[in-house]
Every structure is written in C-alpha cells, then in structure tokens.
C-alpha cells in the first residue's frame, strides 16, 4: 500500500488534462504539503502507472523540464508535451502563462 501522500500525488496528477502542465510545487500544495516539491518529484520518478499517470505533465516552478525517468529522457518528455499542445517559451521551458493547469 502506498503512503497517503503518494496516493494524493498520483490522484492529482491524473487530473492534469492533455495540453496542460502542473508544477511540482503546485501538486505538493494541492496534496496538502506545500513544502514537499521534491517528494512529488520522487513520486513522479517512481510512477508505477506511467503513462496512465501522466508524470510527463509535471514541470519545475519556472516551467523548466527536469527529471523525466522514462525512455528518451527530457527529449521524450518535451515531444510528448508538444504533441499534446503544450506551449514553450524556449527549447526546454514551458510557457506557464498559457499551459499551466488551473484546477
């Protein structure tokens, strides 16, 4: 059985729609632990249900792409996000003004 925080993180991540992203901090806050951004990152790294739990839709607070543990790494993460319609401001930074999920 996964800890309650991990369950909350995956439940929230599953709600991020295609074409949108959330930040690690945003998910930590929604899960009730605003200081647990790194813990959210660990949950994404250990995601047992990828790609059904869309960990590729989670980005840094500045929109930067970090730490995609799936095959293809950051290049694959960017391709998946672009294919879903996520806007970028440069090669590795998501345009959060346009593409951040607002639950």
Residues constituting the chain: 103
Cα separation, 55 vs 21, whole angstroms = 9
Q: How many CA atoms, within 13 angstroms, populate the side-chain half-sphere of residue 28?
A: 18
> Is 43 among the residues known to form the active site?
no
> If 0-12 CB within 10 Å is exposed, 13-18 middle and 19+ buried, where does residue 97 land?
exposed
Q: Which of 16, 27, 44, 55 is catalytic?
A: 55
List residues with catalytic annotation: 55
């Amino acid at each position: 059985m996964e800890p309650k925080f991990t369950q909350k993180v995956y439940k929230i991540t599953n709600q991020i729609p295609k074409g949108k992203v959330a930040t690690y901090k945003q998910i930590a806050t929604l899960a009730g632990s605003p200081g647990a951004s790194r813990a959210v990152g660990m949950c994404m790294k250990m995601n047992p249900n990828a790609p059904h739990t869309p960990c590729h839709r989670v980005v840094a607070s500045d929109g930067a792409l970090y730490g995609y543990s799936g095959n293809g790494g950051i290049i694959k993460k960017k391709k998946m996000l672009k294919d879903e319609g996520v806007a970028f401001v440069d090669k590795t930074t998501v345009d959060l003004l346009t593409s951040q999920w607002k639950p």
